[in-house]
Amino acid sequence: MEVKFYNSYTNKKEIFKPLNPENVKIYSCGPTVYNYAHIGNFRSFIFSDVLRRSLKLLGYKVNHTMNITDIDDKIINASISEKISIEEFTSKWTKVFFDDIETLNIEKVEQYPKATEYIDEMTIFIDKLKENNLVYEKDGSIYYSIKAYENYGKLSKIDVSGMKAGARYDSDEYTKEDARDFVLWKQTKLDGEKFWDTKHGKGRPGWHLECSAMIRKIYSSGIDIHTGGIDLLFPHHENEIAQTCGAYPHEHFVNMWMHCEHLLVEKQKMSKSLGNFHTLRSLVEKNIKPSSIRFLLLSSHYRTKLNFTFQSLDDAEKSVSKIQTTLDRILTCLNYDLSNLKDSGKMEESIQNFLESLADDLNTPKAIGIVFDQLKTINFRLDQGNTDKSELNEYLFFFQKINLLFGFLSFEKAKEEILDDEVLKLIEERNTAKKEKNFALSDKIRKDLLEKGIILEDSQAGVKWKRK
């Protein structure tokens, strides 16, 4: 199947041709571990998860890296104000990050390198850039001279002709769209600040340098795909290219750059001052299910802006519930016996369409549309009541396949569905009482069950129950 992705470098959808389909090298910019990640960060992490899971579904083997930034201005300032070491501070927040990705069912990638473990590689990088006359020193820090690198701006298409000579950025982060020389090695400034004593002086690396150094060390040569949020395209990724291609001009770096768009909250940029800032934890505390958050984040196409609202979370919860309810119907009919699962090809067309949507630049909205079309057919067949085991197993196969992308479906009996014998007996007795028109007894049993937390609902299809 032809796989196409949109390459931010060429601004075109291109056929994906990894150097080795058995070892697809992917690098995704990861978190800076100093705080709870917000929902916008998770959009980017879910995007790289969708990419990873889709490639696996399409038959590739992936070798994926996500960096952990455990040194930067924010981390230094916070650890000084909390009077704890950088290591103590960042290990706490790294654990929070891993807990959060588990909550969202984001697959673990193969490597999670930490910036502080790559200081030697970064030092070598600066040596190489020095050799190639791309850096200069100023007040004890080392900067990259972007004027000296002729291809600067090719990814972001930024015009560097108007840049102020010698204008520099010391900070790790700058978002304004003006090009400036960026820091590779920062001289230590604050008392108590973490530093490394290297041949480039006492200091610490600039943020951009870590990704270039890690990619070099882990993959030795170039990679197939580099991902990140669109806010990283400039300057972070532009600077990564300048560093790697500046240091190793004759080597291949990144084949395809993929960026996911912004997440807006109620059509506005998320900010603490607007009061629309959501972390994963703050949403879970509001009793929002992680599966609804995951579904919402993966259901809109990664290259479109996602407008996050509580209504859209509600809708996502309904969608997840519709998929799970149909799956539960099948599982109930099969008495939760998954041992006869087989693929005799009856769902081939649907699965093929699902995969083709993903192969078309990760078109998740289309893939989800195919799933909902299929749900209609399956529910129609289940309503007819004459499905046999082999047909049910085919449907189950379909659900298992789509769950390799979704990751939130459950194939086990939910705990709340398991009723103890006493409750089952009471439901039976009430059914009998109703048939015998003994309404006093039937009402009494209903009340008794309510006290046990079981709500009964009479419907045309018979009595249904749910927990309070």
Per-residue tokens: 278:
């959501």
Of 241 and 371, which CB lies nearer to Zn ion in the complex structure?
Answer: 241
Binding residues for Zn ion, per CB under 5 A? 29, 211
Q: Which is nearer to Zn ion, 29 or 359 (CB)?
A: 29
**Nearer residue to Zn ion within complex by CB, 211 or 427:** 211
Alpha-carbon distances of 221 from 20, 26, 213, rounded to whole Å: 13, 12, 11
Question: Which residue lies nearer to Zn ion by CB, 3 or 66?
Answer: 66
464: which residues sit within 8 A by CB, 6+ positions away?
456, 457, 458
- Write phi, then psi, for 165 (nearest 5 degrees): -60, 130
Q: Is 59 left (phi over 0), alpha (psi -120 to 50) or beta?
A: left
Least distance in angstroms from the C-beta of 245 to Zn ion: 15
CB of 208 vs Zn ion, minimal distance in Å: 7
d(C-alpha 155, C-alpha 141), whole Å: 26
CB nearer to Zn ion: pick between 50 and 211 = 211
Angle between helices 238-247 and 119-131 (to 10 degrees): 70
Q: How far is the CB of 237 from Zn ion (least distance, A)?
A: 7
> In terms of CB distance, is 211 or 433 closer to Zn ion?
211
Q: How far is the CB of 29 from Zn ion (least distance, A)?
A: 3
Among residues 48 and 141, whose Cβ is nearest to Zn ion?
A: 48
Closer by beta carbon to Zn ion, 115 or else 433: 115
The minimum distance between CB 285 and Zn ion, in angstroms, equals: 30
Beta carbons of 261 and 303 less than 8 angstroms apart: yes
The residues near 218 (Cβ < 8 Å, ≥ 6 apart) are 65, 111, 113
CB of 465 to Zn ion, least distance (A): 51
* Residue with tokens 């009479």, as numbered in its chain: 458
- What are the b/e assignments for 78-111, b being 16+ CB within 10 Å? bbbeeeeebeebbeebbebbeebbebbebeebee
Please give the span between the terminal C-alpha atoms of the chain, in angstroms, as a whole number.
48
Q: Please list the residues that pair with 263 across neighbouring strands.
A: 306
Q: Which is nearer to Zn ion, 40 or 407 (CB)?
A: 40
CB of residue 234 to Zn ion, shortest distance in Å: 12
Distances (CA, A) of 295 to 83, 292, 402: 40, 5, 13
Give the total residue count for the chain: 468
Q: Which is nearer to Zn ion, 215 or 280 (CB)?
A: 215
18 vs 113 by CB, closer to Zn ion: 113
CA proximity to 199, closest of 263, 143, 124: 124
Minimal distance, residue 8 CB to Zn ion, in Å: 14
- Residue position matching structure tokens 């104000």: 81
Q: How far is the CB of 354 from Zn ion (least distance, A)?
A: 31
Shortest distance, position 236 Cβ to Zn ion, whole Å: 6
Instruction: Please state the closest distance from residue 257 (CB atom) to Zn ion, in A.
Output: 12
